[in-house]
Structure 1
Amino acid sequence: MGMNISKTLAATAVIAATSFIAAPAHATGGDLAIDLLDDITIAEEQGMDTYDRDSWAPSGWVDADGTGCTTQEDILIRDTEPESQVIDDCSLTFGTAVDPYSGEFVEHDRDAADFNRTPFDIDHIVPVGEAHRSGGADWDADTKQAFYQDKENLLAVIASENQSKSDADVNNYLPPNQALYCDYVATNVLVKHKYDLTMDQAEHDVAASVLSDEECADTIAQPAVAMSAVDADAVDTSQGADSADADSIALTDYEAAMDDPMGWAQDNPVPAIGAVAVVIIGIFVARGVKSKKS
């Protein structure tokens, strides 16, 4: 146990100073999502009487941008861990990822005896049905197809979570992983702004509430790919866990600190400061003991 604590403190001490001068997690250039939100029109949603999903993708997933692979194949390859992948032409034979929505580890293995379909769904961050309700009902076929295949709006997620979300907007669905809220809402804003789609008042209020939060205020409106490659240690599905518990140093976190010390310190600033303080005090105490012995 003592060795574990030492590893945690050592990792924290090395990176603590640099962790506080690193760029904010979301401030990476581009338009702030909160600014783009101001440009989105607030309007009542249209009905679903004329909605026909087949009109948005009559041929399903296609090679819309000339990569030689379908959009689905491109996203599966893009959003799984490169070091895990086995790829046959455009087909992902094997690949793993941490589901950004739930934090669950997912394994795609076409060679498995019980393989039926990929455990990943390709989620439209702004769902097709929501696009229909928000101004897309009257789009021509080419625009609907472009929206359906748009990789900026697509993310590989665990199938059960995609089905749970269905065609909900941000007022009716946010991922279980609360750490994803900033980027998830920001991508919704990016896509709605890009296609001149509207928001109803409730949806706009939720988006504004999330993006005006201190943690999200500097979030850039980025494509969905910004949410892929989630670090399992950064997933937060606590649903309102006590903040004091969240800021405490867990002795079992030493592996995360050693594997990604910079990320650990940025995700855990309070324990990082505390750990550095402990290390500094320990050094002075050790020197004092040594000087007394001498």
Structure 2
Amino acid sequence: MSISKTFAATTIIAAISLVAAPAHATQGELAIDLLDDITIAEEHVDAPYDRDEWAPSGWADADDTGCTTQQDILIRDTEPASQVIDDDGCTLIFGTAVDPYTGEFVEHDRDAADFNRTPFDVDHVVPIAEANRSGAHSWDADMKQEFYQDKDNLLAVIASENQSKSDADIDNYLPPNQGLYCDYVATTVLVKRKYDLTMDQAEHDVAASILTDDECQETPAHPAVTMSSIDADAVDTSTQEQSGDRDADHIEATNFQAALDDPVGWAGDNPVWALAAAGVIGVVLLGARGARKKKS
């Protein structure tokens, strides 16, 4: 091969690599340091989004393991000692895990009489729609499929919690298990930096707040698998009280507005508060009636 042909071929390969591969593989750096490299920008909330473009054939064997990515994650994230795997080497028949997001014990049992689907979902820590809003809307089809199948961003979690999370970023969702905060945000930072995705100011502020906490400062930017081997004793769901304190004004305002908009519906959803409110109103009315009698 001539030098000119060699140079041309090398140039083409390099160009393909720049387009097809994530620009930054930064695993191992401190997450707090990596956060400084993430661009802060408004989300592209109006960007076109078609989830089918990200996985037109669903889960695929993206890294030639012989199994689909979903099958690999279910096996990777369940307790090895509990596993029964089909002869195909891919299908998980039985396996258990402590769900990292909630701390719940989860049992996958395909032989159970009531087995309909696995209780696990494979969660994208950085959701697909969030990636789309953060700059990925301009990617080509190959890049979108690569992101969809990237195991650095995938974690087996209880299906109900994955559905609760939906496509929220870390400003709008953190796992109920507060003990996971450092790792969850560190993985988010890794994935966003790896793919040159942006954060809006609110998301960046949450990441900075968590990663500068004494417990999180030394957390490396690591892939989602780090969260899969959770110790049940390390689960801390007391975050519900803390996050309630942080968002108290927002929660109260939302409930107050709901009560005004649909008092009957609100009372049905909040019977204890409705009874308390009725009691307060009753006391006020009785007081007012007594005052009128005195005047008369």
Check whether TM > 0.5: yes
Q: CA–CA distance in 1 between the matches of 2:240 and 2:110? A: 38
Q: CA–CA distance in 1 between the matches of 2:173 and 2:165? A: 6
Instruction: Say if 2:117 is the partner of 1:117.
Output: yes
Greater relative contact order (Cα < 8 A, sep 6+): 1
Read off the aligned partner of 2:66 and give its amino acid letter: G
Q: CA–CA distance in 2 between the matches of 1:37 and 1:62? A: 31
User: In 2 relative to 1, CA 240–127 (structure 1 residues): closer, same or farther, beyond 3 Å?
Assistant: closer
Cα RMSD, aligned residues only: 1.3
Q: Which residue of 2 aligns with 1:104?
A: 104
Q: Residue 239 of structure 1: CA displacement?
A: 2.6
Q: Which residue of 2 aligns with 1:74?
A: 72
Q: Residue 76 of structure 1: CA displacement?
A: 0.1
Gaps of at least 5 residues in structure 1 are 1-28, 243-294
CA deviation vs aligned residue, 1:207-248 (integer Å, no higher than 9, x gap): 000000000000000000000011111100013779xxxxxx
Read off the aligned partner of 1:69 and give its amino acid letter: C
CA deviation vs aligned residue, 1:177-221 (integer Å, no higher than 9, x gap): 000000000000000000000000000000000000000000000
CA deviation vs aligned residue, 1:62-81 (integer Å, no higher than 9, x gap): 00000000000000000000
**Paired residues for 1:75-90 under 5 Å:** 75-88=73-86, 89=88, 90=90
User: In 2 relative to 1, CA 240–59 (structure 1 residues): closer, same or farther, beyond 3 Å?
Assistant: closer
Question: Aligned residues: percent identity?
Answer: 79
Q: Which residue of 2 aligns with 1:130?
A: 130
Tell me if structure 2 keeps the 8 A contact 1:106–1:158.
yes
Read off the aligned partner of 2:141 and give its amino acid letter: A
In the alignment, which of 48, 56, 59 is matched to residue 58 of structure 1? Answer: 56
CA deviation vs aligned residue, 1:113-132 (integer Å, no higher than 9, x gap): 00000000000000000000
Q: Residue 133 of structure 1: CA displacement?
A: 0.1
Read off the aligned partner of 1:212 and give its amino acid letter: T
Tell me if structure 2 keeps the 8 A contact 1:48–1:132.
no
Secondary structure of 2:239 counterpart: coil
Paired positions, count: 214
Q: Which residue of 2 aligns with 1:168?
A: 168
Gaps of at least 5 residues in structure 2 are 1-26, 243-296
Secondary structure of 1:189 counterpart: helix
Q: CA–CA distance in 1 between the matches of 2:34 and 2:142? A: 25
Read off the aligned partner of 1:226 and give its amino acid letter: T
Q: Which residue of 2 aligns with 1:218?
A: 218
Q: Which residue of 1 aligns with 2:196?
A: 196
Tell me if structure 1 keeps the 8 A contact 2:47–2:133.
no
Q: Which residue of 2 aligns with 1:209?
A: 209
Tell me if structure 1 keeps the 8 A contact 2:54–2:145.
yes
**Paired residues for 1:1-294 under 5 Å:** 30-88=28-86, 89=88, 90-239=90-239
Q: CA–CA distance in 2 between the matches of 1:128 and 1:154? A: 11
Give the TM-score, by structure 2 length: 0.71
Tell me if structure 2 keeps the 8 A contact 1:121–1:158.
yes
Secondary structure of 1:182 counterpart: helix
Read off the aligned partner of 1:101 and give its amino acid letter: Y
Secondary structure of 2:170 counterpart: coil
Q: CA–CA distance in 2 between the matches of 1:40 and 1:136? A: 14
User: In 2 relative to 1, CA 155–116 (structure 1 residues): closer, same or farther, beyond 3 Å?
Assistant: same
Q: Which residue of 2 aligns with 1:5?
A: none
Tell me if structure 1 keeps the 8 A contact 2:47–2:132.
no
Read off the aligned partner of 1:189 and give its amino acid letter: V
CA deviation vs aligned residue, 1:45-93 (integer Å, no higher than 9, x gap): 0024511000000000000000000000000000000000000121000
Q: CA–CA distance in 2 between the matches of 1:56 and 1:241? A: 37
Tell me if structure 1 keeps the 8 A contact 2:186–2:220.
yes
4+ residue segments displaced more than 4 Å: none
Q: CA–CA distance in 1 between the matches of 2:81 and 2:239? A: 32
Q: CA–CA distance in 2 between the matches of 1:232 and 1:224? A: 17
Greater Cα radius of gyration, structure 1 or 2: 2
Q: Which residue of 2 aligns with 1:278?
A: none
Secondary structure of 1:121 counterpart: strand
